[in-house]
Structure 1
Amino acid sequence: MGIVTDGLKLQAYAKINLSLDVLRQREDGYHEVRMVMQTIQLHDRIDLFPKKEPGIDIHTNLSFLPVNENNLMFRAAKLLIDEFGLEGGVRMRLQKIIPVSAGMAGGSSDAAAVLDGMNRLFSLGLSREELRKRGLRLGADVPFCLMRGAALSEGIGERLSPLPGMPPCWIVIAKPAFSISTRFVYENLHVGRLPRSAHPDVDAVISALNAGEIPALSKNMGNILETVSCREHPEIRAIKERMLSLGALGTLMSGSGPSVFGLFSEKSAAEHCRRDFRFGEGRRLAGQAFLTEPWLPKAAKGRKGRMAKYSRRLYE
């Protein structure tokens, strides 16, 4: 097989953290985590084309995004171009929808999509596991973004164990106008000083996913990084409280923030919440608001009944 000369259209999906615990800070400075991540339908769009001339060209709808080696998409493409000695280069068009610097792995997901796209575009023959190993060199979230679905993430994020995906529900995401430095959050976490009660019950979230129970999932969601982010930015807690007042079953900050998501069992209530953050009282708290759903593997789309239990092979 040769190069796919007419290019590829890719989708890079966002993630949310259903539970995020930090166990300790390692001697090398990295933090050891135990967290549950879930892919959602909200996604960026990437068009990927080969070109005869060497180089990597990136065009995006957001003028403030870097289009050089500071962009993970650029680094993902360069990694495979250099490794395989590919002739020519690539041109990419990014339609950015996932909020930037939001704790939703937008940049990592874009990089994962480019790795997968480059593999197909140039017929490199890399397996999913081989792609994930290369993705880890770009960032701890990239292997999960290649995997998609739901997973328990351990170590520094490199050890992934597939989990049943979320049952059917509606997800409202609200992103405040400010951003939070992930480095700042971890540097100010001081996990050794926190009480046991600050650590979320990750196992309870896994049990809720296995049972396909949104109420139990909503009740047990937790994110230890809120101890820092909510202290520095009270708006995050205010967004959570606003969502609960509008009918959310549970709310949580994703990653290091500042995005907050709420889970709803009814679309009408979820849409009312989204509109409140776009046009109503909630607008003073959030600059962006989205309504989305859990991501489903293609093999599961269209199935009737509960969507939670998928076999391990769907995530390979």
Structure 2
Amino acid sequence: MEIIEKAPAKINLGLDIAGKRIDGFHELSMVMISVDLNDYLTFTELEEDRVIVESSSHKLPLNSKNDVYKAAKMIKERYGIKRGIRIVLEKSIPICAGLGGGSSDAAATLRALNRLWKLNISKKDLIAIGFKIGSDVPYCLEGGCALVSGKGEIVDCLTNSFSLWVVLVKPNFGISTRTIFKEINTETITRVDIAALKKAIISDDYEGMLNNMGNSLEDITIVKRPIINKIKDRMVKCGADIALMTGSGPTVFALCPTEKRADRVVNSMKGFCKEVYKVRML
């Protein structure tokens, strides 16, 4: 049997570091939303008891360092599955870009294997498994627009009716999330009012949403890579309503209310960066 699962990218409309926990993790408060830049994963059962991961990207490890491989192994070991699986990953989401590609691929693997092997794993248990792989995996299991808190394991879906064009610009380098988090100073970091952002989103208040968007990690990443600020400025000058870094970077996204405005931003950025995508919010 063979099934195909879609894994969409995400952007952070808001990312706040609320403090540091006793267990050493940072207390997160984020609003994420899915966009229609997708990886696709094809799952084929094998008679032999092994996990095989293949990918269209030569940049990805295909062993236990890969989140897709980790997710498959966890499901097999936890539920005593003796059948094997071949997973072919068609990669479109840039790697180490702040777009949650690896987490979304892992979430897609958990969803697909739950369905393929008829395991009937509850959402709560899937989230618990996903969190062991990465802090963004619980959100990626839900997708859509959501408030994410705690260490990333608490996901509350938000209703909204925004239908916006999103322009993504990925500079030609990656950023290690772990490296950025090591430099967080909770006393001096820029804070984002996530409660106000949530209120604006569920009230369909577009101006309120724009006014309360922000990313606590921008200041840290921009010191290392000033080009991110140049990208932001250029996108706004070209007609975007707002431009913001997503995750720990380096991808910057712009929101545009019309496709015409989005096209103008895309055309301006294509000569500036190679990886430019025009997508919609999901």
Q: Normalising by structure 2, report the TM-score.
A: 0.96
1:217 to 202, 205, 209: 209
- Match of residue 264 from structure 1: 256
1:289 to 268, 276, 279: 276
1:9 to 4, 7, 32: 4
Instruction: Tell me the distance in 1 between the aligned counterparts of 2:43 and 2:253.
Output: 31
Instruction: Tell me the distance in 1 between the aligned counterparts of 2:125 and 2:250.
Output: 32
* Counterpart residue identity of residue 128, structure 1: K
Deviations 1:155-193 (A, max 9, x none): 111111221235011000000011111111111121213
- Match of residue 139 from structure 1: 134
Instruction: Tell me the distance in 2 between the aligned counterparts of 1:62 and 1:275.
Output: 26
* Counterpart residue identity of residue 130, structure 1: D
Task: Give me the CA root mean square deviation.
Answer: 1.2
1:112 to 104, 107, 113: 107
- Match of residue 98 from structure 1: 93
Does residue 48 of the first structure (1) align with residue 40 of the second (2)?
no
Instruction: Verify the 8 A CA contact 1:218 1:263 in the aligned structure 2.
Output: no
Instruction: Verify the 8 A CA contact 1:109 1:142 in the aligned structure 2.
Output: yes
Alignment map for 1:204-283 (pairs within 5 Å): 204-278=196-270, 280=271, 283=272
* Counterpart residue identity of residue 113, structure 2: M
SS at 1:200 equivalent: coil
* Counterpart residue identity of residue 50, structure 1: E
Instruction: Verify the 8 A CA contact 1:170 1:264 in the aligned structure 2.
Output: yes
2:180 to 170, 182, 185: 185
Alignment map for 1:18-37 (pairs within 5 Å): 18-37=13-32
Deviations 1:60-113 (A, max 9, x none): 111121000000000100111111211221001111001100111100000000
Instruction: Verify the 8 A CA contact 2:34 2:281 in the aligned structure 1.
Output: yes
SS at 1:137 equivalent: helix
Unaligned runs of 5+ in 1: 296-316
Does residue 149 of the first structure (1) align with residue 148 of the second (2)?
no
- Compared CA separation, residues 218 and 193, structure 1 to 2 (3 A): closer
SS at 1:115 equivalent: helix
Instruction: Tell me the distance in 1 between the aligned counterparts of 2:19 and 2:193.
Output: 16
Instruction: Tell me the distance in 2 between the aligned counterparts of 1:58 and 1:271.
Output: 36
* Counterpart residue identity of residue 258, structure 1: P
- Match of residue 58 from structure 1: 53
- Larger deviation: 144-153 or 68-77? 144-153
* Counterpart residue identity of residue 27, structure 2: E
Q: Normalising by structure 1, report the TM-score.
A: 0.86
Unaligned runs of 5+ in 2: none
Does residue 81 of the first structure (1) align with residue 76 of the second (2)?
yes
Instruction: Tell me the distance in 1 between the aligned counterparts of 2:81 and 2:250.
Output: 39
Instruction: Verify the 8 A CA contact 1:166 1:294 in the aligned structure 2.
Output: no
Aligned-pair CA distance for 1:27:
3.2
- Match of residue 165 from structure 1: 160
Counting aligned pairs with the same residue, the percent is 36
Aligned-pair CA distance for 1:269:
1.3
- Compared CA separation, residues 166 and 236, structure 1 to 2 (3 A): farther
- Compared CA separation, residues 65 and 119, structure 1 to 2 (3 A): same
Instruction: Tell me the distance in 1 between the aligned counterparts of 2:91 and 2:267.
Output: 21
Residues matched between the structures, number = 282
Instruction: Tell me the distance in 1 between the aligned counterparts of 2:180 and 2:187.
Output: 15
* Counterpart residue identity of residue 198, structure 2: I
Instruction: Tell me the distance in 2 between the aligned counterparts of 1:41 and 1:28.
Output: 35
Instruction: Tell me the distance in 2 between the aligned counterparts of 1:242 and 1:252.
Output: 12
Deviations 1:7-41 (A, max 9, x none): 10110011111111101122332111111111111
- Larger deviation: 242-251 or 152-161? 152-161
Aligned-pair CA distance for 1:130:
2.2
